[in-house]
Structure 1
């Protein structure tokens, strides 16, 4: 035990290569800032509660106000009157960034580190090694993630041995799919991809550390471990130390992240601005404060990323009180739909607003979840859609895109190769404006289907995702049960965001009496009928039964009597509860390692009781 931090029994000895003396000192240096993090999370809950009780809409900030935690006014931030970060050479061209964790559930180092080899040999310009939405949290996965990254960055002999094996496997696949290999020099290829790391969000607690008897920030844990353990090797190789910051809601929270980065740079003796940060725009409140977030994070901020599922979830959650706001089927909510179109447009305008030094920032486009595995016709159709989506984002001004699987890199990257520009920073777009129409556009609905099939999709994937999470697979290939065995419909690589949005929309439909736009003979539902509690219960039973009967390929047999019933209990309770829980992940984290339904149900009930009473979120590891 250090002076103020408490660690799970035996964890320091098992992971002394992760909890190095340098990392422990960095954790101690940042630990006092956790109290401020807790205050900011309490403010989040209070804002959410106030808006729900008063029917209050999110608004733009007062131009004359100071951004909390800074000496920058809102007006100055919007005008670019701040010193933004210099984009380093290894971030100037990021046509394709892959995303995924650096390990697998319950794996040894040789098996888990294969994930890193696939990533760094993929041909992606950058790879975001995920500590958050795509990384399972069972057992010690978060620490295995750090260990494997450290070994790979150090070019440990074991990693090099595994990388050589993986390169051969990747080339065999490419020869079958493309008709030619994709890796000529595997050692040289390892140095092509920029390493990026996504820390966990401010709303999450670490599972292995406590501070003064309560939970400790997962963000601080990830930041300290990754940077302290890897900055020297990265910088010696001429590479940047780059972080992705998730789930930020306000410029005040961005300023807090900036204080963490500054404190860590100071502790490690690094020049200010050494640490670079992308920000994921995953929360609607961010879109009211984009330039303010850029300014609050200067001189570290390099760009925004436009995700889809998390952002939709935040809109649904922010308007849970508004009975007139009801989303359609999830398939209809593309980046060109209503409020999503406005969101993307505001991000690209913010990125192309210069700071006072004439510097712009980067816009990394959204996720391509397809995997080229399925029937010939299914793969061809899906890859055509994937390329068309990339072409649309490139036309709109994105400097690059995300993919969820290494096999997609060489399919999508040619879109930017043909364009031939390192990035699109500085492309001319209209200036951001902050009037009533701008605010209205961020919640604009458009006519689109809302169907029983759409409800089944929401339920099936939500159940499957919860089950996968509880088994340790926080990134999983999923599709609705009605398409199991149909190889024309491809699996999509999904992470925590897919679960969040599906439960949010189901809650929205049930508690706002959403009506269907089409009839459904199987359920006897007519167009105009409401999504009732009885219908929800029936569909939940039917979709759950399909998963119980599915083959091991789609639903692991060892989960059907253990974690799958727990996933059903969480889905049922979340959707039926009059008080909307803020995060699906809270209830999943609460039940990691649990396989007894009665234990899980008791934890679910305690969570909702505490949240309904005073907004307390149970986020600490119950099995510490």
Structure 2
């Protein structure tokens, strides 16, 4: 076996390391990261190129469908995913949020069953955010996270068990440019997974739960296979049994929905089910078909979970998961309590209740909330309609979903000037926060993250690309979008605190709403602005 020192040859840390970081960025942990990179980065880059090639096919009119080469996997009734792991049998309410120290304590003190600590969509991946997040999770697992902020004590509760911890690393497309191996930036996902697993896997098992993950943004079962290979190497390296790790896959791309059986199959002994990542899924539909005038969606508010293509996605996901014996998790309630308007708050909370009622009746085994105040609503709904720890036994054999069902964009709704302005405000507001290292931004009493910002900019791009007219009769053009963006920039920046990033965000956003250039992700478009690479590498 190669020595730690030999594995560290070619490793450079280009971000600053403070004292708290040193317990995370140890020589042994960095050597483990280097091994992950050298073993899997070539495959990762190949899979990313497959995404580019597949997009070129779609642009030529080749629509996605169920894969003929994996038909035998879909039709085989014999195989199953893994039985639910300790701490993941009952997941009826999961809270999600970034990994800052306050959020970690508040989430783990919430009346929920699991907490998804998010290094991805609700996080701005500055070097400090990424490493401090690892420090916070390390401390929380060891119950060493208690702290005081502005005179207020934050302490983990001791009166009952804490929620099960699940970590969402970054997707395969993102890099961590502050950590370089042999001249290449490491995958952000491998960086997040590797540090968390290396330091905490054995302690988590001792605490009664294993190392559990949410896996984002995948577009094929081959990308799930790569994660499975990563899991096997990681477990073998530290001496844990294969199958100790569990991964729940977010089905948040239009291509992945056609490969759900195959994704569970690739992860079999590591699978803990699938999740409906609703906002990223809508983003993916717009993104993949952005050049096709047959796939133009109305205002975001009209694209509900009950429109044909979304309802088909939900039904097929639940049927697929339960057929394979794994959890089918519902989507996010992004609402924030409206403290200064009781009537508006009542209406918003009734909407949350109705959404969770739809999910549990459809057969979901659990759901997401973004704010602790929503946990009780979700819990009440699931407790009433799901008295068992889950409802995997609901096979949904009544469901039959075709390729055409998944691609059926017929729905009520129009494109309005109000919808354009909302998209601009959301996209601009989120990007401004992200550039200030804030990855989860409250806007209009909704917790907006990267997924909703992506929906906003992709709709604006597509409407301009195809010259759509609004319900008011105004043709949407490049010039029109840019005019409304300038108005929003001036309005929002004039009200914001000094040092805000609205002008910078606006310059980037302006390149994405004209129907011309289209970045693969907003996060990759903006990433250079938050990279803080030093002139020399930090010493390990």
TM interval, short-chain normalised: over 0.9
Cα distance between partner residues in 1 of 2:462 and 2:332 = 24
Is 1:288 aligned to 2:258, yes or no? Answer: yes
**1:411 matched to 2:377:** yes
1:449 to 414, 430, 433: 414
For residue 487 of structure 2, the aligned residue among 527, 531, 542 is 542
Gaps of 5+ in 2: none
Shift of residue 592 of structure 1?
1.8
By how many angstroms is 1:556 displaced? 3.4
Per the alignment, do residues 621 and 367 of structure 1 end up closer, same or farther by CA in structure 2, a change over 3 Å counting?
Answer: farther
For residue 564 of structure 1, the aligned residue among 498, 502, 521 is 502
Q: Which residue number corresponds to residue 334 of structure 2? A: 369
TM-superposed CA distance for 1:48, in Å, is 1.1
Maintained 8 Å contact 2:489/2:506? yes
Please state how far the C-alpha of 1:326 moved relative to its aligned partner.
0.9
Cα distance in structure 2, aligned partners of 1:556 and 1:411: 35
Moved runs in structure 1, 4+ residues, more than 4 A? 164-168, 431-434, 620-624
Q: Determine the structure 2 residue equivalent to 1:102.
A: 99
CA 1:234–1:577 in structure 2 vs 1: closer, same or farther (change >3 Å)?
Answer: same
Secondary structure in structure 2 of the residue aligned to 1:557: coil
**Which residue pairs with 1:309 in the alignment?**
279
Q: 1:239 aligns with which of 182, 186, 209?
A: 209
1:298 deviates by: 1.2
Q: Deviations over 1:180-226 (max 9, x none)?
A: xxxxx93133x230011001100000132112222210111111111
Structure 1, unaligned stretches of length 5 or more? 66-72, 104-112, 169-184, 355-359, 480-490, 520-525, 595-619
Q: Match of 1:254?
A: 224
The aligned counterpart of 1:159 is 146
Alignment check: 8 A CA contact 2:307 2:411 kept:
yes
Residue of structure 2 in register with 1:430 after alignment: 397
Partner in structure 1 of residue 448 of structure 2: 494
* Partner residue in 1 for 2:133: 145
Structure 2 residue 22 is matched with structure 1 residue 16: yes
Give the conservation status (yes or no) of the 8 Å contact 1:511–1:578: yes
Worse overlay, 228-237 or 14-23:
14-23
Shift of 1:309: 1.3
Distance 1:167 1:210 in 2: 35
Q: Do the aligned residues in 1 keep the contact of 2:435 with 2:526 (CA within 8 Å)?
A: yes
Q: How many residues align?
A: 527
Provide Cα deviations, 1:421-451, integer angstroms capped at 9, x if missing partner: 21111203127767xx433433423131210
Map 1:458-607; keep pairs closer than 5 Å.
Answer: 458-479=423-444, 491-516=445-470, 518-519=471-472, 526=473, 529-550=474-495, 555-559=496-500, 563-576=501-514, 578-592=516-530
3-state SS in 2 of match to 1:229: helix
Contact 1:94 1:125 in 2 (8 A): yes
Q: 1:89, CA displacement in angstroms? A: 3.3
Q: Select 2:195's aligned residue among 211, 225, 228.
A: 225
2:297 aligned partner: 327
Of 33, 38, 43, 1:36 maps to 43
Judge conservation of contact 1:127–1:194 (CA < 8 Å) in 2.
yes
Q: Provide the rounded CA distance (Å) in 2 between the counterparts of 1:623 and 1:474.
A: 28
Cα–Cα, structure 1 residues 454 and 27, in superposed 2: closer, same or farther, change >3 Å? same
Contact 2:14-2:534 within 8 A present in 1 as well: no
Looking at structure 1, the residues matched to 75 and 219 of structure 2 have their Cα atoms a distance apart, in angstroms, of: 17
Deviations 1:2-49 (A, max 9, x none): 123221154386621112344223213312211111111111112212
What is the distance in 1 between the residues matched to 2:74 and 2:66? 13
Which structure has more relative contact order (CA 8 Å, sep 6+)? It is: 2
Report the more deviating stretch, 372-381 or 277-286: 372-381
Partner of residue 362, structure 2: 396
TM-score by length of 1: 0.80
CA distance in 1 between counterparts of 2:142 and 2:314 reads 38
